[in-house]
Amino acid sequence: MVGDDHARIVCCAATRRGIDVHRWFTADYPCRQSISIYYENAEETNWVFNGPSLSLENQKFDVIWLRRPVPPILPDILHPEDRQVAVTENAFFFRSLWHALAKEAFWINSYPGHLAARSKLLQLREAKQSGFTIPRTLVSNDPDDIAAFILKNQPNQTIYKSFFPARWDLSDGNAAVLETTKISVESLPNPEILRLTPGIFQPYIEKEFEVRATFLGAHVVAIRLNSQHSQQGKTDYRVSPINELDPEPYILPPEIYESCRQLMKKLNIVFGCFDFIVTPEHDFVFLEVNEMGQFLWKEQVCPETRILDAFLDFLMHPSFDFEWQPRADRIRLSSIIESDEYNRLELEENTLHMRSFPNPTSGFYEAR
């Protein structure tokens, strides 16, 4: 995806480590990219991918990092009804492709795991069965049920969360981003509008601090985020400047670590970013696991985490039980960001490749 700093940084670092890397921009299909797959009598399937900075034919891959794939982008030249047919055909083609591509490779994460972990409903159910405390939750588009849920929470407040990050580009060049938001019955839109979009509703939980824990197999890098130190970040830490959160390395309690591992097994993922609230009573409350969350910002704010170097080793030796052993020839995040290769890749992707819509939120931290 154009604008994905993580993919660009990991590509540069992996190349420096001597790993042969291919980046595939799925949004280039079909306008700037062609894919041909041949099924004949031979046992092996023949396939050819061609496009800007991409030329692949029957390659064998050891590892595939399924890093936030985006759907194909179609031009505006089609009639609206024809366009809908083309969108559907492309969507079904790519679903088939993800299931069939590179069966010999180790996937981070597997496509079935990718789909399962993206289900917030499944996450909550499996998280509870894995031993986590979860917030009382309503998922609904029913105006009466939503209003009743909010009233039942009183005097505590209620928060609204979306299923997927939303962003609107504004006429002044800025952007509006949908955040986790406190709501009331009075703040709800009219029922005809409210029922058009499902939402996730939970009681607001008082916080002592928050924890973001990234798992690479069995290796975990956790950060404590003092979100209550920031006026902006009290409800949603993502909207706060990172320096206001006083981030610091954190060690997960053993029982929380084991529940994370159990949930990863249930969801069939080997990589994931967990978000927790820690209450004033020091209870952990599970919020979600993002199976392809942002993680390199941890090394930006806490260089001792060395998470880029750990992730490179994870790519070279991926497994559910991966344990990182620090290397002497460490690759630092700062050295990649300041390199000519990083700048070259950024220029190349902005020049050659299709930008997905909506544009991804820039930076390691904000997009989470």
CA distances from 222 to 138, 147, 236 (A): 29, 36, 18
The reported pLDDT for the residue numbered 368 is 55
CB 157, CB 114: distance < 8 Å? no
Burial 333-366 (b: 16+ CB within 10 A, else e): beebbeeeebeebeeebeeebbbbeeebbeebbe
The reported pLDDT for the residue numbered 357 is 57
176 has a pLDDT exceeding 80: no
**What is the location of CATH 3.30.1490 in the chain?**
136-204
Pairing state between β 181-183 and 219-225: unpaired
Annotation: CATH topology of 136-204: Dna Ligase; domain 1 (3.30.1490)
Q: Which of 349, 246, 238 is nearest to 294 (CA)?
A: 238
Residue 170 CA to residue 188 CA, distance in Å, equals 23
Return the amino acid letter for 93: F
The reported pLDDT for the residue numbered 131 is 97
Q: What is the mean pLDDT of residues 89-108?
A: 93
Q: Which of 46, 35, 106, 36 is nearest to 72 (CA)?
A: 35
Q: How many CB atoms lie within 10 A of CB 47?
A: 18
Return the amino acid letter for 170: L
The count of residues in the chain is 368
Phi, psi values for residue 117, rounded to 5°: -70, -20
The reported pLDDT for the residue numbered 41 is 77
Which CATH architecture fits 110-134+206-291? 2-Layer Sandwich (3.30)
Q: Using CB atoms within 10 A of its CB, is residue 84 exposed (0-12), middle (13-18) or buried (19+)? A: exposed
Q: Which of 259, 270, 241, 5 is nearest to 113 (CA)?
A: 270
Looking at the chain, the whole-number percentage of residues with pLDDT higher than 70 is 96
The reported pLDDT for the residue numbered 228 is 82
Q: What confidence category does residue 245 fall into, taking pLDDT thresholds of 50, 70 and 90?
A: confident
Q: What confidence category does residue 367 fall into, taking pLDDT thresholds of 50, 70 and 90?
A: very low
Give the mean pLDDT of the chain.
91
Looking at the chain, the whole-number percentage of residues with pLDDT higher than 90 is 76
- More confident site: 109 or 173: 109
- Axis-axis angle for helices 307-316, 5-17 (nearest 10): 70
The reported pLDDT for the residue numbered 360 is 43
The reported pLDDT for the residue numbered 178 is 79
Q: How far is CA 43 from the centre of its chain?
A: 36
Beta strands in the chain (DSSP E): 34-38, 46-51, 54-57, 63-65, 106-108, 138-140, 158-161, 167-169, 175-177, 181-183, 199-203, 209-216, 219-225, 248-250, 271-278, 284-290
Span 141-167, pLDDT tens digits: 999 999 999 999 999 999 999 988 777
CB 267, CB 116: distance < 8 Å? yes
Residue 293 CA to residue 289 CA, distance in Å, equals 8
Name which of 4-8, 94-98, 176-180, 362-366 the model is least confident about: 362-366
CB 210, CB 275: distance < 8 Å? yes
The reported pLDDT for the residue numbered 359 is 45
**What is the location of CATH 3.30.470.20 in the chain?**
110-134+206-291
186 has a pLDDT exceeding 70: yes
Q: Which tokens sit at 49?
A: 């991918």
